[in-house]
């Protein structure tokens, strides 16, 4: 058994209702989907999918492998997937990831845009054709659709989920290498190795106790004191000492994570014309290099686009795309902000959660940089929210009055995932509600391309629309960081910066 640091998820652990990191960690442990992203490379590989066949990138026939069950003994069948996807898409179930089913035919009937009553109960594009086979019909060609199916929103669900929903929420049942033993919100989730797990990636340890911390400095202190085995978020204040503290038990590896500042476009002041100049001016008031060097000890890299270097150039990463908009230039920053009509209310309030990620340190530094650039020590102030769950609730409820922290950890290693969920109109993680018809069309066109290289080029064009409007301010690319106790071995972070828990050995 090992213990690891954690933060309470925003929502109960329904796969289609979890679009943040803490809940995602658990879903990765208790579920396996049709695909799985290789812990080393991030490549989408078949897991429960025996085969996914298509001749036109719009009609798919999916065959589920035989011999898989949930941890309660129920068989995993084609219906397990179809029922789960129908549940996730249905507007009445209020699932945050419903949007991921938007390309399946009939989505507009089960999830009408106007918020009205659905005219259908299930997606017409999903059909169970056998115990282990089902078909998917999309509304348009989507060449990389199979590669998205490792994302947790597409996980299968047992009948128990539907038969006694409240009991399932209290103790989720999945089909992954671990099973939930207990969960006390604000304290701990205990997961134990599922001995009958049929997959090739069986847990190499007896289980994991995920301990809730509201301050990652406390987690680090517990790690050093021997009260915690694994801390997967090294606080900025400890980065100077972590190598001497932990030696080879400190991990610092590139990850598909970008930190940005998002804006509430639903606020009339931030959503009005001309504010793109203010946003670009604010971006140019931020000294990214100084913050990443001094606060983060070079475990972050100043961002020059809106994706991640882990994609590589062939995958769509465009180094330098941001251009002068991401250069530190105080004089130009002041000029642009003035031309754009100034800061709404004359002041900038940046909201963030104070419990994880050393956000207090960098937000203070960010405000200091902006205040220096604008020659006004009260232009920018930090607005901390106590917990990640409360922070996410305020975002979901559209309560942001100004810019807010918006980190993005990729769901799957495609350029599409850095753009569509965040910036497409009404997308699942478009928290600021930015909307641009040209961007939406380019994304639709990119998804319809059967040639991968052509699709990537169109996504790159879409990213230029994000740049031209400075839809969000890119700050820095983030490495995954972790430290672990002498009891553990074979500790790795995957390209999503999440520990590969099932591979960890305990002595």
Domains with residue ranges and CATH for the chain: 33-158 (3.90.76.10), 255-479 (3.10.105.10)
Q: Note the pLDDT of residue 35.
A: 97
Q: Give residue 398's pLDDT band: very low, low, confident or very high (50, 70, 90).
A: very high
| β pairing state of 2-6 and 207-212 | parallel
Phi then psi for residue 323, to 5 deg, are: 60, -145
Q: What mean pLDDT comes out for the span 494-504?
A: 95
User: What is the residue-averaged pLDDT of the chain?
Assistant: 94
Token couple for 92: 């009445």
pTM of the shown model: 0.82
Q: Tens of pLDDT along 252-292? A: 988 999 999 999 999 999 989 889 999 999 999 999 999 99
- Is residue 169 pLDDT above 80, yes or no? yes
Dist CA 203 CA 477 (whole Å):
31
DSSP letters, 204-249, are SSSEEEEEE-S-HHHHHHHHHHTS-SEESS--GGGTTTHHHHHGGG
Quick count: other Cβ atoms within 10 Å of Cβ 478?
24
User: Helix or strand or coil: residue 68?
Assistant: coil
Instruction: Summarize pLDDT for 176-223 with one digit per residue, the tens.
Output: 999 999 999 999 999 999 999 999 999 999 999 999 998 889 999 999
Indicate the SS3 state at residue 482.
strand
Instruction: Please give the angle made by the CA atoms of 218, 366 and 286, to the nearest 5 degrees.
Output: 145
Over residues 55-71, the pLDDT tens digits come to 989 999 999 999 999 99
358 pLDDT more than 80: no
Q: How far is CA 178 from CA 17, 28, 295, in A?
A: 20, 9, 36
Q: pLDDT value at position 388?
A: 86
CB atoms within 10 A of CB 387: 18
C-alpha 148/C-alpha 445 separation (Å) is 17
pLDDT of 413 higher than 80: yes
The band of 357, judged by pLDDT with boundaries at 50, 70 and 90, is low
Give residue 276's pLDDT: 96
Name the nearest CA neighbour of 384 among 401, 360, 406, 418: 360
Round to the nearest angstrom and report the end-to-end CA distance of the chain.
Answer: 9
pLDDT confidence band for 299 (50 / 70 / 90): confident
Mean pLDDT of all residues in 220-246? 94
* pLDDT tens by residue, 106-128: 999 999 987 789 999 999 999 99
């Amino acid at each position: 058994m090992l213990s690891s640091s954690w933060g309470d998820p925003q929502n109960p652990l329904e796969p289609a209702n979890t679009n943040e990191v803490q809940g995602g960690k658990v879903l990765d442990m208790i579920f396996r989907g049709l695909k799985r992203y290789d812990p080393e490379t991030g490549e989408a590989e078949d897991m429960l999918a025996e085969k996914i066949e298509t001749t036109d990138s719009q009609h798919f026939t999916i065959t589920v492998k035989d011999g898989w069950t949930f941890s309660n003994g129920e068989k995993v069948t084609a219906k397990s997937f179809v029922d789960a996807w129908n549940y996730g898409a249905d507007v009445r179930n209020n699932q945050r990831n419903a949007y991921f089913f938007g390309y399946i035919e009939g989505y507009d009937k089960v999830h009408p845009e106007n918020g009205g009553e659905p005219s259908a109960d299930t997606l017409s594009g999903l059909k169970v054709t056998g115990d282990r086979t089902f078909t998917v019909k999309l509304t348009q060609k989507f060449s990389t659709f199979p590669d998205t199916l490792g994302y947790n929103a597409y996980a299968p669900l047992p009948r128990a989920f539907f038969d006694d929903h409240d009991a399932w929420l209290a103790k989720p049942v999945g089909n992954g290498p671990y099973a939930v033993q207990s969960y006390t919100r604000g304290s701990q989730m205990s997961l134990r190795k599922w001995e009958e797990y049929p997959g090739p990636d069986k847990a190499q340890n007896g289980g994991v106790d995920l301990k809730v911390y509201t301050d990652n400095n406390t987690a680090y202190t517990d790690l050093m004191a021997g009260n915690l085995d694994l801390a997967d978020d090294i606080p900025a204040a400890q980065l100077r000492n972590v190598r001497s503290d932990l030696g080879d038990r400190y991990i610092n590896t590139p990850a598909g994570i970008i930190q940005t500042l998002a804006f509430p476009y639903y606020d009339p002041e931030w959503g009005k014309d001309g504010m793109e100049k203010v946003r670009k001016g604010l971006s140019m008031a931020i000294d990214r290099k100084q913050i990443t060097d001094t606060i983060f000890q070079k475990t972050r890299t100043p961002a020059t686009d809106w994706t991640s270097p882990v994609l590589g150039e062939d995958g769509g990463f465009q180094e330098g795309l941001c251009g002068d908009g991401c250069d530190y230039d105080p004089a130009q920053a002041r000029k642009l902000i003035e031309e754009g009509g100034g800061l709404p209310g004359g002041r900038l309030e940046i909201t963030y959660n104070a419990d994880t990620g050393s956000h207090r340190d960098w937000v203070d530094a960010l405000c200091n940089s902006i205040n220096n650039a604008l020659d006004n020590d009260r232009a920018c102030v930090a607005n901390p929210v106590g917990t990640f769950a409360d922070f996410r609730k305020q975002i979901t409820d559209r309560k942001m009055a100004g810019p807010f922290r918006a980190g993005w950890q990729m769901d799957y290693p495609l350029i599409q995932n850095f753009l569509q969920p965040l910036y497409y109109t009404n997308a699942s993680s478009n928290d600021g509600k930015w909307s641009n018809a040209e961007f939406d069309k380019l994304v639709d066109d990119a998804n319809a391309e059967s040639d991968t290289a052509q699709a990537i080029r169109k996504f790159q064009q879409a990213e230029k629309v994000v740049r031209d409007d400075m839809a969000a301010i890119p700050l820095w690319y983030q490495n995954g960081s972790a430290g672990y106790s002498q009891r553990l071995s074979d500790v790795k972070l995957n390209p999503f910066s999440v520990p590969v828990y099932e591979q960890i050995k305990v002595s």
